[in-house]
Amino acid sequence: MTFALTPERESHLAEILSRYPNRMAATIPVLHLCQEQNGWVSEEIMEWVAHRLGISAAHVKGVATFYTLFNKEPVGRHQVWVCRTLSCALNGADALLHHCEKRLGVHVGGTTKDGSVTLRTAECLAACGQAPMMQVDRDYHENLTLADVDTILDRLTRS
Amino acid sequence: MITLTIDDRPITVAEGTTIWEAARTLAIEIPVLCHDPRLRPVGVCRMCVVDIGARTLVASCVRPCESGMKVVTGSEKVERQRRTLTELLMSDQPEVCPKESTTGDSVLHALARRYEATGASLPRGAGRPRDLSSKVIAVDHQACILCDRCVRGCDEIQGNDVISRSGKGYGTKIAFDLDAPMGASTCVSCGECMAVCPTGALVNKPVSGPIVPRRHLKQVDSVCPYCGVGCGLTYNVDVEQNKIAYVDGRESPVNHERLCVKGRYGFDYAQHPQRLTKPLIRRAEFYPKAALSPEVMGNQERGKGRRKTALVSYDDVMPAFREASWDEALELVASRLLAVKKEHGPGALAGFGSAKCSIEEAYLFQKLVRAAFGTNNVDHCTRLCHASSVAALLETIGSGAVTNTFAGIAESDVALFAGTNISANHPVAASFFKNAAARGTKLIFVDPRRPDIARHAWRYAQIRHGSDVAFYNAMMHVILREGLIDEAYVRDHTTGIEELRALVDRYPPALAAEICGVTAEMIVDIARAYGGAKAAITFWGMGISQHTHGTNNARCLISLCLLTGNSGRPGTGLHPLRGQNNVQGASDAGLIPMMYPDYQRVGDPAIREKFEKAWGLPLDPTPGLTVTEITTGALEGRIKGMYCLGENPFLSDPNVNKVRKALTRLDFLAVQDIFLTETAEFADVILPATSYLEKTGTYTNTDRRVQIGRPALAPPGDARLDWQIVAEIATRMGYPMLYEKVEDIFDEFTATTHEYQGLDYPILGATGRLWPAFDREAKDGEQILFGDAYPTADGRAKLVPCDFEAEKEPTSAEYPFVLNTGRLLEHWHTGTMTRRSYALDAISPGPFVEVHPDDLARLGITAGDLVSVSSRRGRIELPARRSTSVARGSVFIAFHFREAAANVLTLDAIDPIGKIPTFKLCAVNVEKAQA
């Protein structure tokens, strides 16, 4: 297997393992650690995690495919999640999403050709008071207008 | 203890008992889908809900009983919930349930009938796919209700960890490995997932004929015919078609319903069209005798260029024989054997029995050779298997059998596995070892080839081939140096400690590390774990016994065990895992040249007198020749006549080219078998026998458990019961053997033994008994032997020091690789049975040589390329397979495949004491085959 964690992440892995009663319990944080390095969880990584944790590859696959935050395919440098739950939906999330699609030239779930942005939808991100909203990487952007979205996407596609 | 009421009936149960379990003891059946008493309860299906007067209904399979609880299991409210649940589950079921249309026992559909639920009122989903890639199991994801029983069956019962859930929401499905097709996954086809599945999601594919509901079939409780584990199983037989439709694992102290791929799917060989049905006599024009098919002729002779076949080609062999009546064939066998005896003396005759035959057949066969032939030249495949282990055990502890059952590992904190690839060769026992590992038992593996089960290991030491003695001596060195020896045990129960101490003193870990190619720390770690264990159990296999120093290897393991007092207590013991289903029983029955039944020495005048009295004639006082010595004897012209019952020495003995010459030189050879074997090509007479599946007999497993195999099928054509053929030949040779039924032979056998006293067919019943079982009132025989004393003259075990010896055939520039031979999960020995089993042959169709990726790269060979493997004795061609299980510089070939017979290459050097050949080690060269 060619996948290997960086030395810093290796020590982080040891720290993670020390926090759990058994190795299986560390599956999720270890997958996150790998995704952080690789951007997505490949089958090679799933096997690597299974090997390192001494659990079955089938189990790792089960966890990785259950949680939407694990990317099963390569993704862009930035992740955009447009909230589509009630408050945002009533405040124009649909239009916002279509605008993003048109602007980026991808459908929901897709990644721009230049590899800069992956567009997704999210269920309620608990910012209903500031609807419509979207999450970009780790940040919330709230009370959005289409112009706001343009500014944000401009920045993302340029960086 | 907790007292509660269930449906107004009071019951007192132990703390922690679930409501479902408590109800079951009251014979109140609560329906379940996700639960099976053999599995950890998870409570996901909610079918087992009951009313305990709480806000909501609770799942009885996970909810523990509480004091004063009032449980109602079948109220209207409960039933309504179950009905709705069934309705919901049925809404997504396929039109035709794969289980209802085969075995007819879908638990879900039974509930649907009970609740009249069709699911028709609910919308259906988009549909899920089917996966028919496995050779033996059909997957229908549409029928799956995600109860996780297969996941837990695979993980918790069999320890294979192949299945999990994948995805989420409606798209969730069971997945194999990384969602591979089942047939391409690491699945080992044990069928446990299929057996626990309550719906049509996982069902058997037909192996030999259509699968129909059990009620249309006859159930025959028997024992698996393959390995020494001896799993209890039930054959579901279509009597009219004379076919086994499918097999179920049966509750038995051995396997608790578990089976492996051979036991569950390898049952159709008996129905193969190539079965021998008439006695055959060699035609006059086919003398002088020679091999008849190109594969058996060898590489050099004619037939070159033709594609080699997996099975003996009947077209090549049959023209050399003519059909004969039983009377003519038996008369010919008897008269020819008598003629050899008259002309050359009884010592010119020999018999090969088989560990696949029953105790009765083995007993009768050795009696035939000893009484009617008048020689002790009788042996069987134990010589190629555990002869050295038995020699060492008899010498040291006075008994050749295991001192504890394999299930004894449940009470061990450390288990040492030396030279045994258990997940391939004893798969069901391996599942119990994996269970022990999951509970915290430290499994230690020492083996030059990494066994698959090593992923459950606490430590795995990849030692160099043949360095075992050095490794175990160093372990003992550490144990003595660090005071981990059980002083009291050694003082009270052993002799020879000073000699042993003096020898192992010369084996510090640093020296052994050099010899074995592992680190000294590894040896010290393992020694400390074993020496420090409260209870350590020791298992070994062919990797220990099949060496020119096999007896020494076993002696070292025995010393290690004695030194640490790991014998005679729960969780401890010595267990050489027996290969064949009846290798223990056949040895017990005296199918050994130097011993009568029950290991009574031929050379002992008092014993001989006893048998002379019992059998009514004087017996040969000299111990006979062993398998390898008989072959050499035939080659040198000392053995003239042979009777081969169920053995196939052509493929199973080392150095095929030598065996070929030896078989050609025999004046007379009678072969009794169910198919034409390679050996039968050299026969004068071939006698059609009955298969295991067609006869009654007793078989002793690796644990010493004596079990009855029962007939599931009628024998084909004129095939006869083996014991009747043997008895008939004896009678015609002037030694009448008159038995009415097979039980009479068993009773005669047990009467000559000590260890089998107290056993007879009625008491063996459905699950057999461990010997010794002198107390007929007890539930079973003795599990753990020698708690007080050993059956030796002084009651003590002997510590036998052994020095490391260099190999007989080290690698050289010309032959730079070490060849290791062994078996595969799907096949059995020379493949006579398994290569005629549809499923087993389909899963594992041909030979290959395992080579380390670095060696492949160095030689410029790509995996799948045809390579030529040659030794000083011969050469074979077969595809290369990339494997990191073998070490650099060593290769592995399974010996099942006649088209690339590993034993063309192996060395026929033998252990001086056990007389076992060194199958595990010879020097070979590997190169790309010429196109």
Task: Kindly report the CATH number assigned to the domain that includes residue B32.
Answer: 3.10.20.740
pLDDT tier at B275 (50, 70, 90 boundaries)? Answer: very high
Contacts of B165 in chain A (CB under 8 A): 62, 66
- Please check whether residues B532 and B676 belong to one and the same domain: no
Q: How high is the pLDDT of residue B126?
A: 81
For B194, the domain range is 107-235+242-264
Distance, in angstroms, between A51 CA and closest chain B CA? 9
Whether B596 and B737 map to the same domain: the answer is yes
Average pLDDT over residues B919-924: 94
Q: Give the distance from residue A22's alpha carbon to the nearest chain B alpha carbon, in angstroms.
A: 12
CATH number at residue B599: 3.40.50.740
Q: Which of B155, B167, B455 sits opposite A65 (nearest CB)?
A: B167
pLDDT tens for A1-58 read: 589 999 999 999 999 999 999 999 999 999 999 999 999 999 999 999 999 999 999 9
Given a cut of 50, whether residue B301 has pLDDT beyond it is no
Interface test with B, best of A59, A69, A70 (most B CBs within 10 A): A59
Considering only CB atoms, which chain A residues are within 8 Å of B177?
56-58, 61
- Please determine, for residue B283, whether its predicted confidence score (pLDDT) is greater than 70: yes
Same domain, B556 and B595: no
Residue B525 has, within 13 A of its CA and on its CB side, a CA count of 15
CA distance A105 to chain B (A): 28
Mutate which of B139, B146, B164 to disrupt the A interface (most A C-beta within 10 Å)?
B164
Helix (H, G, I), strand (E, B) or coil at A104: helix
Residue where a domain terminates, one of B576, B605, B632 = B576
Q: Rounded distance, CA B850 to CA B824, Å?
A: 12
For residue B95, is it within any domain? no
Same domain, B758 and B836: no
Interface test with B, best of A47, A56, A68, A70 (most B CBs within 10 A): A56
Which of B166, B182, B439 is the mutation pick for testing A, counting most A CBs within 10 A?
B166
ipTM higher than 0.85?
yes
Task: Give domain status of residue B336, yes or no.
Answer: yes
CA distance B885 to B686: 41
B223 belongs to a structural domain: yes
**Which residues of B lie inside 8 Å of A (Cβ-Cβ)?**
155, 161-168, 175-179, 455
Q: Is residue B112 part of a domain?
A: yes
The CA-CA-CA angle for residues B795, B797, B800, to 5°, reads 150
The residues that bridge with B797 in the sheet, in sequence order, are B494
Domain contains B805: no
Q: Residues B826-853: pLDDT tens digits?
A: 999 989 999 999 999 999 999 999 999 9
| CATH number of the domain that residue B831 is part of | 2.40.40.20
Contact B175 A66 (CB under 8 A): no
Q: What single-letter DSSP state applies at residue B39? A: S
Per-residue pLDDT at B578: 94
Name B22's Cβ contacts closer than 8 Å, sequence gap at least 6.
Answer: B4, B6, B11, B13, B65
The pLDDT, as a whole number, for residue A150 is: 95
Rounded Cα distance, B672 and B647, in Å: 8
3 state SS of B917: strand
A47 and B155 in contact by Cβ < 8 A? no
User: Which residues share a beta bridge with B139?
Assistant: B131, B202
Residues of A in contact with B438 (CB under 8 A): none
B155: chain A residues, CB-CB within 8 Å: 56
Nearest chain A residue to B160 by CA distance is: A56
Q: Are B880 and B856 in contact (CB under 8 A)?
A: yes
Whether B550 and B408 share a structural domain: yes
Same-domain check for residues B660 and B619:
yes
Q: Which residue of B has its CA nearest to A55?
A: B161
Q: Shortest CB distance from B163 goes to which of A46, A58, A68?
A: A58
- CA A88 to chain centroid: 20
User: Looking at the structure, do residues B557 and B598 belong to the same domain, yes or no?
Assistant: no
Residue B800 lies in a domain: no
Among B347, B369, B365, B348, which residue's Cα sits nearest to residue B356? B365
Note the pLDDT tens digit of each residue in B208-255.
889 999 999 999 999 999 999 999 999 999 999 999 999 999 999 999
- Give the domain CATH number at B407: 3.40.228.10
B692-711: pLDDT as tens digits? 999 999 999 999 999 999 99
Are residues B417 and B516 part of one domain?
yes
- Do B661 and B515 fall into the same domain? no
Tell me, what DSSP letter sits at residue B72? Answer: B
Domain boundary among B768, B795, B827: B768
Using the predicted structure, report yes or no on whether residue B130 has a pLDDT greater than 50: yes
CB atoms within 10 A of CB B58: 19
Kindly report, residue by residue over B340-387, the tens digit of the pLDDT: 999 999 999 999 999 999 999 999 999 999 999 999 999 998 888 899
State whether B567 and B530 are in the same domain: yes
Give the confidence band of B807 by pLDDT, cuts at 50, 70, 90: confident
User: Stretch B777-804: mean pLDDT, rounded?
Assistant: 96
CB contact under 8 A, A62 and B175: yes
Residue B715: how many other CB atoms lie within 10 Å = 21
Question: Is residue B300's pLDDT more than 70?
Answer: no
Mean pLDDT in chain B?
95
- Cβ contact, residue pair A58, B176, below 8 Å: yes
A58 in contact with B, Cβ within 8 Å? yes
Question: Does B509 lie in the same domain as B533?
Answer: yes
Residue ending a domain, among B523, B545, B576, is B576
B689: its two tokens: 């026998």
Q: What is the rounded CA–CA span in Å between residue B23 and residue B897?
A: 53
The reply to whether B564 and B610 lie within a common domain is: no
By C-alpha distance, which of B643, B609, B646, B639 is closest to B624? B639
Quick check: is B344 in a domain? yes
pLDDT for the residue B55: 94
What burial letters (b/e) apply to B333-369, b meaning 16+ CB within 10 Å?
bbebbbebbeebebbbbbbbbbbbbbbbbbbbbbbbb
What does the alpha-carbon distance between residue A38 and residue B210 come to, in Å, rounded to a whole number?
50
CATH code, B152: 3.30.70.20
Residue of B305 and B146 predicted with greater confidence? B146
Are B33 and B20 a contacting pair, CB within 8 Å? Answer: no
Structurally, chain B folds into a number of domains equal to 5
Q: What are chain A's domains? A: 7-66 (1.10.10.1590), 78-158 (3.40.30.10)
Domain-located, residue B102: no
